[in-house]
Amino acid sequence: MSQDILVVAEHLNGAIADVTYEMLGKGKELASATGGALICAVLGSGVDPSSLGCADKILNVDHPGLADFNPEAHSTVLSSVVTTAAPRLTLVANTSMGMDLAASLSVKNDLPLVAYGLNVAIEDGKVIATSQLYGGKICAESELEGDSVIVSVLAGSFPAAAGRMDGSPAVETVEAPAAVTDTRLRFTGLIEPEAGDVDITQQDILVGVGRGIGSDEHLPMMEQLAKALGGTVAASRPIVDNKWLPKTRQVGKSGLKVTPKIYVALGISGAPEHIEGMKDAELIVAINTDETAPIFEFAHYGTTEDLFDVVPALIEKLT
Amino acid sequence: MNIVVPIKLVPDLVEELEINDEGTDLERDFLSYKINEFCDHAIEEALQLKEAHGGTVTVIGVERDETDKALFTALAKGADKAIKITELDEAAPTHVVAKAVCNVLAGMEYDIVMTGVQAADDRDGQLGVLLGSYLGIPHVSVVSDVSIDGDTIALHKEYAGGVMARYEVASKVVLGVQAARQTPRYAPVSRVRQIMKEMEIEEVEAADADVAIGSTLRRVYTPEKGEGAEMIEGSAEDIAGKIAAVINEKRGG
Ligand SMILES: Cc1cc2nc3c(=O)[nH]c(=O)nc-3n(C[C@H](O)[C@H](O)[C@H](O)COP(=O)(O)OP(=O)(O)OC[C@H]3O[C@@H](n4cnc5c(N)ncnc54)[C@H](O)[C@@H]3O)c2cc1C
């Protein structure tokens, strides 16, 4: 095994995802701790590696069968890349794509995996990973055993700026295994979201509503608050899954990332997948009856008073 | 098609989670477990497919405090069969659960396995992906909108920003379900009680599920509060007043 750190690049439609730069920045720091090189594995077709200059070397598996993410093809290829490269540590994003890669790499290559990584460190030559579990309520620090291990990293855990670097790192072309074209699972297309609704990413003031509002009967009250504030109603995922509001209003990992001036979170617990989408709002005010709700770690102001008592009073004060 | 739904029970996140004296795990003695919400969605999506296309739905759960209740609830909702895996440690890592479920599946006929996409406690990876990898069949995470046409299963995988990828597969597959096409149905308590009299849960001892996950927990803790929120106290009136003030200050600035 080597002392190298291998980062698995994530990309969609040719665009490298920010989480890749986040991992590269962190990977650079870890590689200097292990004394190894920082390697970036790119599994795709025609992906431009010029922004991956943070890496010492790129392992480029370029094949038409990898143009669009296919959990079966990509996990087969990643397994063989990791077998050959034998890195000390493989970093994979804990995203929709990365979830399909990290756990399958763990089984296929029989390597330890710690998921939901918020932080990774090398201490006395050991890999230590901190996971965010239980909806963000608990952190768990794990020591990984063995000389090659995997950590899957939550998007937004490290600054992307540290890893976004132009350059022309050495590119090593890796032959794709034959199995790439021989998958049972077939990718049949991408569906882009429908436009037409308000664009919540462009709003200065958002009222984020969560499952705590109880029923869609209470939406008009939340709309009224948004109006009094001169803002728009956005939502956590369950509200959208319940079809109380359209998908265009969803904030978070599988929704939109928003950076308004003001974000008022009503009855939102603050699950990591929601936080990912709104933590950079300038002012966050949270109303949640559970004093241990993780949303309060990210909010600037909070109250555990019932939202149905506070919101009407707030509407009155603002109108 | 025959669909198997392995479910996870996780601590109820609405309640306070306590940490043991050593600081190495949750204090499990008083934990109340409930079905992982994404598993509830997996059951719903499986039942929807069964109602549209026939076939069966089998639900599998690892024994914990509330497993019987969760399994009987699934039966009350329309599942055909429930299996409980016994003799696994309460804190068993997900690799071990996956291995145990895999061994149960070995004796079954199935076409689709549907799990919840993730659970609050899968520190060592998500059940569906681990399961698919042990079984050597394709897996897809963050799935919604599953449909069946003849032998072909079609599905959506969700990415950020509402973008979705479409896939098709005509073989066995494991799907990590994010959301069912409708809010998971509710089974009235009276119906669950009746099912408890009419149906039985099959019990299977976990066999050959010892896998070393290669990591040990050093420290479990509640996140440092950091600066955290400034908490506003008082009457609803006072609180609203203070919130209005900080918002107005921000809006003005
Ligand atoms: C792959 C993946 C992607 C995901 N993507 C997203 C995403 O993009 N966006 C997203 O939001 N989630 C996403 N999720 C879901 C996420 O894990 C959580 O399930 C979700 O964010 C929880 O929403 P919530 O906070 O509204 O509900 P809950 O977690 O149920 O919280 C409701 C809160 O309301 C409070 N409450 C109840 N009644 C009141 C009252 N009267 N007054 C005040 N407070 C009250 C409760 O204390 C509780 O904290 C994703 C999950 C996965 C697995």
**Token representation of residue A116:** 């939901």
Q: Which residues pair with B174 in a beta bridge?
A: B113, B139
Q: Which residues 46-65 in chain A show a CB within 8 A of chain B?
A: none
For residue B103, give the CATH number of its domain. 3.40.50.620
Structure tokens at B180: 């069912």
Distance (Å) from the alpha carbon of B197 to chain A's nearest alpha carbon: 33
Q: Residue for token digits 């974000």?
A: A263
ipTM value for the complex: 0.95
Q: Which residues of B touch A314 (CB under 8 A)?
A: 240, 243-244
pLDDT for the residue A141: 97
On chain B, the residues whose CB falls within 8 A of the CB of A69 are: 165
pLDDT, mean of residues B128-143: 98
| Domain membership flag for residue B79 | yes
Q: What is the pLDDT of residue B226?
A: 59
Closest CA to A297 of A267, A271, A260: A271
Domain limits for position B67? 2-205
Which chain A positions have a beta carbon within 8 Å of B217's beta carbon? 140-142
Rounded to an integer, the average pLDDT of B17-27 is 92
Ligand 1 contact, B142 CB (< 6 A): yes
State residue A319's pLDDT score.
87
Q: Are residues A140 and B164, on separate chains, in Cβ contact within 8 Å? A: no
d(CA A154, CA A51) in angstroms, rounded, equals 21
Residue B115 and residue B131 in contact, taking contact as beta carbons nearer than 8 Å: yes
Residue B155 in domain? yes
The answer to whether residue B151 sits within a structural domain is: yes
Subunit contact A146:B214, Cβ cutoff 8 A: yes
Average pLDDT in chain B? 95
Instruction: State the residue for tokens 């190298």.
Output: A4
CA distance linking residue B44 with residue A186, whole number of Å: 25
User: Would B162 be classed as within a structural domain?
Assistant: yes
Q: What is the DSSP string of A139-160?
A: EEEEEEPSSSEEEEE-TTSS-S
Give the residue among A269, A209, A208 at the shortest CA–CA distance from B15.
Answer: A269
Which residues pair with residue A12 across a beta bridge? A15
Protein residue with least CA distance to atom 47, ligand 1: A290
> What's A106's DSSP letter?
H
Q: What is the mean pLDDT of each run of 10 residues along chain A (319 residues)?
A: 96 95 98 98 95 96 96 97 98 98 98 98 97 94 97 96 91 91 95 85 97 97 96 97 94 95 97 95 97 93 97 95
pLDDT one-digit tens code per residue, B170-188? 999 999 999 999 999 999 9
pLDDT band at B139 (very low <50, low <70, confident <90, very high): very high
**Domains in chain B, number:** 1
Q: How far does the CA of residue A170 sit from the closest CA of chain B (Å)? A: 30
* pLDDT value at residue B65: 86
Distance CA A128, CA A143 (A): 5
Q: Give a yes or no: residue B92 inside a domain.
A: yes
CA-closest residue to ligand 1 atom 38: A212
Nearest to B163 among A103, A193, A300 (CB): A193
Q: At what angle do helices B67-77 and B37-53 cross, to 10 degrees?
A: 30
Which two tokens mark B152?
A: 């072909």
Residues A6 and A41: their CA atoms lie apart, in Å, by 7
Q: What pLDDT digit, counting tens, does each position of B31-75 carry?
A: 889 999 999 999 999 999 999 999 999 999 999 989 999 999 999
Q: CA A188 to CA B169: how far, in whole Å? A: 10
> Which of A103, A184, A185 shows the shortest C-beta gap to B125?
A103
Q: Give me the domains of chain A, ranges plus CATH numbers.
A: 5-181 (3.40.50.620), 200-318 (3.40.50.1220)
Long-range Cβ pairs for the range A236-243 (8 Å, 24+): A236/A208, A236/A209, A236/A210, A236/A211, A236/A268, A236/A271, A236/A274, A237/A273, A237/A274, A237/B179, A238/A210, A238/A211, A239/A209, A239/A210, A239/A211, A239/A213, A241/B41, A241/B179, A241/B183, A242/A216, A242/B183
B246: chain A residues, CB-CB within 8 Å: 283, 285, 300-301
A116, A131 Cβ separation under 8 angstroms: yes
If one residue of A100, A274, A304 were mutated to test the ligand 1 pocket, choosing by the most ligand atoms within 8 A of its CB, it would be: A274
What is the percent of chain B with per-residue pLDDT over 70, rounded to a whole number?
Answer: 98
Q: What letter would DSSP give residue B17?
A: P
Ligand 1 binding pocket includes A271 (Cβ within 6 Å): yes
Record the pTM. Answer: 0.94
Number of A to B CB contacts under 8 A, please give it. 274
Q: Pick B114 or B30 by higher pLDDT.
A: B114
Locus of tokens 């440092």: B224
